[in-house]
Structure formats: structure tokens, C-alpha cells
Amino acid sequence: MIPERFISLATQVDEVFFLIGVAILVIEIAEAWFKGNLKGKTWLDMFASASTQIPFLLLETTMMTALYFGLYLFSSEIVTWHLPTTLPWILLAVLLADVTYYWEHRIAHRVRILWTQHAVHHSSRDYNIVTAVRFGPLESLWSFVAHIPMVLVGFSPDIVFGSVILVQAYQTWLHTELIGKLGPLEWVLNTPSHHRVHHGCDDKYIDKNYAGILIIWDRVFGSFQVEEERPRYGLTTDFDSHNPVKVWFSELPALWRDIKRSKSGRELRGRLFGPPGWKP
């Protein structure tokens, strides 16, 4: 069946981008070694980034598997209208998954309870290919919720799932300083240059370039910023730990302190659902 073959194809594409990532990692390490910049801190940071896959994959194989199983049941029992699974509709699904990712990503930056998960991805002061796998433990939960509307309008969960895999897989190669600007492609595609901006904590770079595959969403919705000088990476706070557990849960202690000091329901809602840094 076409949906199952599409997931298989998306998985193969994901594997290709993984191999590209491995190749970039080897080059990054070799370059740092030749320049004398391969320090213990770099290894610790890469280890901390890679370690986030432990809780992430644990929850992916338990909670998220159960949720997707429920989504398949919901689609077959409740959703009566199903869109065709021909190539034009699959391409439309990938396009919709890409714009959905843009808004999912943008909202995760502006809603504090979601930011507690996505901030893990931004917490590294270094910027290398291993940063691509630096995820918050529950980050997939918001992604799952954000893509439910695609199922409601009639796309098969397989098509939605495969489209999400493609959008995520594409972004692997963006996390590197090895690749400069790519000429005319910069107008249409998300590139390493655009994504370096997204990871910058300089004032003009904060909350810019949310795109997955197509940078046109940032251009259309007013969140585009060209890379000018090299960004300063990481969070605006002083977080610079390489302790895996602290990296996994970096934003939660501060959120818990703010929850405990909330004096009203309005203040509690603001601390949970307002933007990071919200104060009563």
C-alpha cells in the first residue's frame, strides 16, 4: 500500500540524512583537531547533546507509540473522510507538515511550558552536528498534537507520520558551521546559515527563522533574519552545563519555582502559557 511505502521511503531518507550527519561530524572533528580547537569541553558538550536521546527515545517507544496507535484507531473509526494517497496529495501533505512545523516551532518558543522542552535543543553554547539530536524528553508530545489537524482533514496517519519524518530528517544537516551561504537556495530553502541565526541568542537573532524545510514561511510570516555576524549560541540565561541530567531538565526547576510563587490563577496561567520571561 502507498502509505506504508511512503513511511518506508521517509525512513530511508532519514537514514541518508543521518549518514550525511555522520560525515559532517567526522569533518568537524578533523577540522577542530587540525586547528587545535578539539578540547575536552567540546567532547563534553557533544556527549551532553547525545545523552538527551536516552529519555527522548524511552518516551518515544512508550508514550508516543501508544498515542500514534490511538491516532490510527481515531482515524479509522471517527474520521470518515480520507484524502487520496496519490503523489500530488502526498506532496501536499509534506508541504502542510512543513508549515505546521513552522507554527509548532514558533509556538514552542512563545509558550513557556512548551519552551521547557524545546529549550534543551537551544541550550548548547557550541553549534555542531550533534546539536541536531539534542531534544527535550517530551518535545514529541507537542509535535503530535500540532499535527492532529492534518488527520482531521483526511490525511492518513501514515502519510502524516512520513511527512513529519521528512521534515525532521531534512534539518539534520543544518546544524553545522562548516557550510556557508548557498546563494539562490537561501531564498527558498532553510540552510545552515539560516538555522545558525535561529540558534543565536543575540537580540536581533532571537526568535527568528523557525522553518523546517522551506524558509519561505519565515519570509511570509515576518520572522526572517539573514545571518550577518557569527551568532552567539545558547540561551539568554547563563546555562552552560554539561551535566546530562541538568541538560535534560534545564528549564523545569525555574518553572517549578515560579509555579510555587504564583499568587493567583491568572499569574499561574501567565507563568505556564505566557512567553519565556513573563512576569506578573
Q: Is residue 149 part of a domain?
A: yes
The number of folded domains in the chain is 1
CA 40 from chain centre, in angstroms, equals: 27
Q: Is residue 49 part of a domain?
A: yes
pLDDT at 253: 87
In sequence order, which residues have a C-beta less than 8 Å from that of residue 213 and are 6 or more positions away? Answer: 98, 166, 167, 170, 171, 189, 190
pLDDT at 136: 92
pLDDT at 76: 82
Assess contact for 234 and 121: CB atoms under 8 A: no
Residue 238 phi, psi (nearest 5): -90, 20
- The range of the structural domain enclosing residue 108 comes to 2-273
Neighbours of 160 (CB within 10 A): 25
pTM of the model: 0.92
Q: Is residue 153 part of a domain?
A: yes
pLDDT at 85: 85
Burial class from Cβ neighbours inside 10 Å (0-12, 13-18, 19+) for residue 265 reads exposed
Distance, in Å, from the CA atom of 17 to the CA atom of 9, rounded to the nearest integer, reads 13
Q: Under DSSP, is residue 173 helix (H, G, I), strand (E, B) or coil?
A: helix
Residue with cell 479509522: 76
pLDDT at 82: 84
C-alpha cell at 177: 558551521
Q: Is residue 280 part of a domain?
A: no
Residue 128 phi, psi (nearest 5): -145, 175
DSSP 185: G
Q: Is residue 162 part of a domain?
A: yes
Residue 189 phi, psi (nearest 5): -95, 150
DSSP string, 29-52: HHHHHHHT---HHHHHHHHHHHHT
pLDDT at 1: 55
CA trace torsion 227, 137, 104, 12 (10° rounding):
80
Distance, in Å, from the CA atom of 254 to the CA atom of 257, rounded to the nearest integer, reads 5
The pLDDT tens digits along the chain (280 residues) read 577 788 889 999 999 999 999 999 999 999 888 887 777 677 888 889 999 999 998 988 888 889 888 988 888 888 777 888 888 999 999 999 999 999 999 999 999 999 999 999 999 998 999 999 999 999 999 999 999 999 999 999 999 999 999 999 999 999 999 999 999 999 999 999 999 999 999 999 999 999 999 999 999 999 999 999 999 999 888 777 888 888 898 888 888 888 888 888 898 999 999 888 888 8
Distance, in Å, from the CA atom of 66 to the CA atom of 56, rounded to the nearest integer, reads 15
Q: Is residue 278 part of a domain?
A: no
